[in-house]
Amino acid sequence: MRKQIAAANWKMNLTYQQGVALLQTMVSAEISLKENHIAVFAVPFPYLEMAVDTVQHKKNYFISAQNCSDKKSGAYTGEVSAEMLKSLTLDYCLVGHSERREYFGESNLMLADKVNLCLLNGITPIFCCGEALQTREQNKQNSFVENQLKQSLFHLSKDEILKIVIAYEPIWAIGTGKTASTEQAQEMHAYIRSVLKNQYGESFSDQISILYGGSVKAGNAKEIFASKDVDGGLVGGASLLASEFLEIIRALK
């Protein structure tokens, strides 16, 4: 069975002290994950070492960076390399989040470089893809997301693609007042898996976890995660509350 993943993206939220308190609450909670269940916490860069230390003895709890540089090293002030993340013994890194694409102009080709550097350093990229409202209204979401996958991931070998986690973000349904239904989530996840199947074969596509990033909350997680091709969620605001995120973890199938 594919790994079922509850991934928390704290974004630029919480002070250091608040982050410590939240992680300690999560670690001390009475929750036991199944072998194929994983909880991942994508925390701000200054909190990474603390976070790794806090969860290291909690079964199937892992820490992720929210981003990394597309450069190996060098005179890039303010950037953080995948090699630096590796030295902190990180297991995951978000790549291509919609906010990085929109606010910082990250292209598909740049993200391909980030994916390569993560894999080179033994870090699992959580590759984000998804369409904006205008693309959805033009009914071009399938071709748009397929192009993101092709340009950023399809240079990878079959062995390498199995080391990728994909997160689908319906950008049009986040903060717009519009709501993505469970059926729409499953439809796009199934399409993404079909694109992977065409490129790598069914046996490989069936092993890749695809997460849903469309405003997952404790109240809707179980219904969304029950969908055949949805393997968990990339969670924003709800991950900042221990009680909410614990319920989301418990909702994994």
Q: Using the structure block, give the residue that is written with the tokens 């992720």.
A: 64
- Is residue 131 part of the annotated active site? The answer reads no
CB 192 within 8 Å of CB 149? yes
Q: Indicate which residue of 97, 99, 146, 244 is catalytic.
A: 97
Q: Which 8-state DSSP code applies to residue 2?
A: P
Take residue 186 and report the two structure tokens written for it.
């499953």
Long-range contacts of 186-190 (CB under 8 A, 24+ apart): 186/227, 186/228, 186/229, 186/230, 188/141, 188/142, 188/145, 189/227, 189/229, 189/230, 190/228, 190/229
- Is residue 37 part of the annotated active site? The answer reads no
Please classify residue 227 by burial: count the beta carbons closer than 10 Å to its beta carbon, then call 0-12 exposed, 13-18 middle and 19+ buried. middle
Q: Indicate which residue of 99, 106, 169, 244 is catalytic.
A: 169
Write the Ramachandran bin of 249: left for phi over 0, alpha for psi from -120 to 50, otherwise beta: alpha
Residues 6+ apart with CB under 8 A from 241: none
Please classify residue 133 by burial: count the beta carbons closer than 10 Å to its beta carbon, then call 0-12 exposed, 13-18 middle and 19+ buried. middle
Please classify residue 229 by burial: count the beta carbons closer than 10 Å to its beta carbon, then call 0-12 exposed, 13-18 middle and 19+ buried. buried
Q: Which 8-state DSSP code applies to residue 47?
A: G
* Catalytic residue annotation: 97, 169
